[in-house]
A and B are shown apart, each in its own frame.
Chain A
Amino acid sequence: MTGNVLLEINDLAVEFFSHRRKIHAVRGLDLTVLPGQFHALVGESGAGKTVTSFTILRLLPPSAAVTRGSVVFQDHNLLTLSEDLMRNLRGREISMIFQEPSKYLNPSMKAADQVIEGIRFHLGYSEKAAYQWTRELFQRVGLDGGRTAMSRYPHEFSGGMRQRLMIAMAVACNPSLLIADEPTTALDVGVQRQIINLLQELRGEKNMAILYVTHDIGVVRYAADYVSVIYTGRIVESSPKDLLFANPRHPYTRLLLESIPSRDKRGSRLQGVPGSIPNPENSPPGCSFHPRCPIAQPICAETLPPMVKIESAHRCACFFPGKDLGLPG
């Protein structure tokens, strides 16, 4: 692989088994993250975003299995790495923050201790050095680095502060990839912006790539360098952000972009994507978007459209990219 790629996922498939039924959560997903990139993975809930991010860190529950593909991070195939080596990567090279920090923080452990334990384990710092570094991290992420804040319990923090604490934990060992799984969904709009700005700043300071999983197109437009649109466990369009917003080609992407309000669409009805995401247990054949697609043709129900190059790094998996959707307004 080239030296300029941080994470490369190829043809990844993940299945869940529940009550003897198979659920295809991810079905042949390709994704490439470059060092220092803010890569947004966008899609509706149930599209396989979270499963993908949990697969990278190998945190899937026992009911899930990777059935195909590879996840290559800095020349290691994470899917075949020994558990010991994987543990060394987790929290040190790849770390993660989650949607609901209130659930993802240990309720009976002091804030500072939750940061310190990772530092001590990965970097071998002394108790004192780890405490000192944690204090600096607290200040950096906008938590008061005083003794009182550090010895508080998570339930004594607000939602935004809890996410800041999660971020302090995640960046403590200067990872090269941070996976952020809808980190602002549970937060107020004003706090969302602060958290995203903080992540942007930390990304610059630490030259850390961020894989930002979200369903919020507004966040993507604000922060991302590169966007991958995911639908039923596959990437349907991926592109540098500016190209994508200027010239979306996949009907799903275009309907998603139509669904955000903007000044020039004032007065017209917001479009949104008609219908809902198919049941992952029996996804439609061919292009799985065809039942909801306004321009679907017979071929779409039969054959899976391949990813094709639109221009430079802009790629799209549709037989009729950019065809007029016939939308009102």
Chain B
Amino acid sequence: MKIFRLFLRKAGRLLLTVFIISTAVFFALRIIPGDPALVVAGIDASPETVAAIQTRLGTDRPILAQYEEWLLSVLRFDFGASLFSEEKVSALIMDRFPLTLVLALLGMAVAFLLALPLGVLSAVRRWSFWDYLGMIVSQVGMAVPSFWLGIVLLLMFAVWIRIFPLFGGEGPLHLVLPAVALGVNRGAVLLRLVRTTMIEELGKEYIITARSKGLPERVIRYRHALRNALVPVVTVSGIQFGYMLGGAIILEQVFSLPGVGRLFLSAIYQRDFPVVQGGVIFIAIVFSLINFLVDMVYALVNPKLQAGGG
């Protein structure tokens, strides 16, 4: 029952967040100077044309009526159509989002592949070669921005040694370098965390109990210590995943991948308001949704939050 109440509370918070962001986006776009109708029609357009476009966009109506319609459109996930291509914004986003999502997921996988084995090894063999390697990797990984690493990787593995393609978004091979560029940066943070929490857990008394039972060191490390060490790691990696989506948007530029990042960026350049508006809301929803899922997963891995607990 406890977990169900938690679910309701977190879901409520999710809805509230989306509502607040929708409101902020709506008013921000109304406060910024510049009439979208003028952008569409051009500055030389006649007042009649501008008025006609205002009517089409609905910007001539009272602000509260517009606000009401905006909130409804957020609920329906319908942000109108692009001012230029006249395609529906939701269709544009859903068309591009899978690539961004896959990129972020691959980045996350790279981060885990880096952080888990090296983090555990660093904790178990403290001050060994592996520990120093882990420290260097995490220091460098945190210091180097992912877009820079992306450019370097492109130079090394697409220009000098031509293993991976330089441009475009066809096929899985195109995602390898951006995923590595994304994952190293976030993995560096997770690596430190895995090492710290693992050292902490290995120093706890229940590890002595596990040893007193005669269990092999491997079982003590993975079944006992790592399981408990992962509780904070899950939380942090959820937040990391949010950043990963942000990072994916930047890396789409570096690697010329047609994801949502490129869509939103070109919309901003073109003052394509419906797309910008929809894009901001969409990112906010995805971010809140991830946080919501992280909270739920955290409740599942942490038995103290489960049903019947005291």
Contacts and interface: CB of A to CB of B under 8 A. Distances in A.
A104 B303 contact: no
B92 interface: no
A160 interface: no
Contacts of B302: 108
Contacts, number: 83
A105 to B, nearest CB: 6
Find the residue from B209, B228, B303, B304 having the highest chain A CB count within 10 A. B209
Q: Is the interface of A mostly helix, strand, loop or mixed?
A: mixed
A190 B31 CA distance: 72
Interface of A: 57, 59, 87-92, 95-96, 98, 100, 103-109, 117-118, 121-122, 152-153, 155-156, 166, 169
B308 interface: yes
A156 B304 CA distance: 8
Contacts of B228: 106-108
Interface of B: 204-206, 208-216, 219, 223-224, 227-228, 231, 301-304, 306, 308-310
B212 A96 contact: yes
B304 A153 contact: yes
Contact of B206 (A87, A92, A107, A155): A107
A108 B204 contact: no
A163 to B, nearest CB: 12
Contacts of B310: 155-156
Contact of B308 (A117, A121, A156): A156
B62 to A, nearest CB: 56
Find the residue from B211, B216, B228, B310 having the highest chain A CB count within 10 A. B211
Contacts of A59: 208, 211-212
A104 B227 contact: no
Nearest to A83: B217
Contact of A90 (B211, B301, B304): B211
A96 B209 CA distance: 8
Given A117-B219, A117-B223, A91 B213 contact: yes
Pick the 3 closest A-B CB pairs, nearest first: A90-B214, A91-B214, A91-B213
B212 A105 contact: no
Find the residue from B213, B219, B231, B304 having the highest chain A CB count within 10 A. B213
Contacts of B215: 87, 91, 117-118, 121
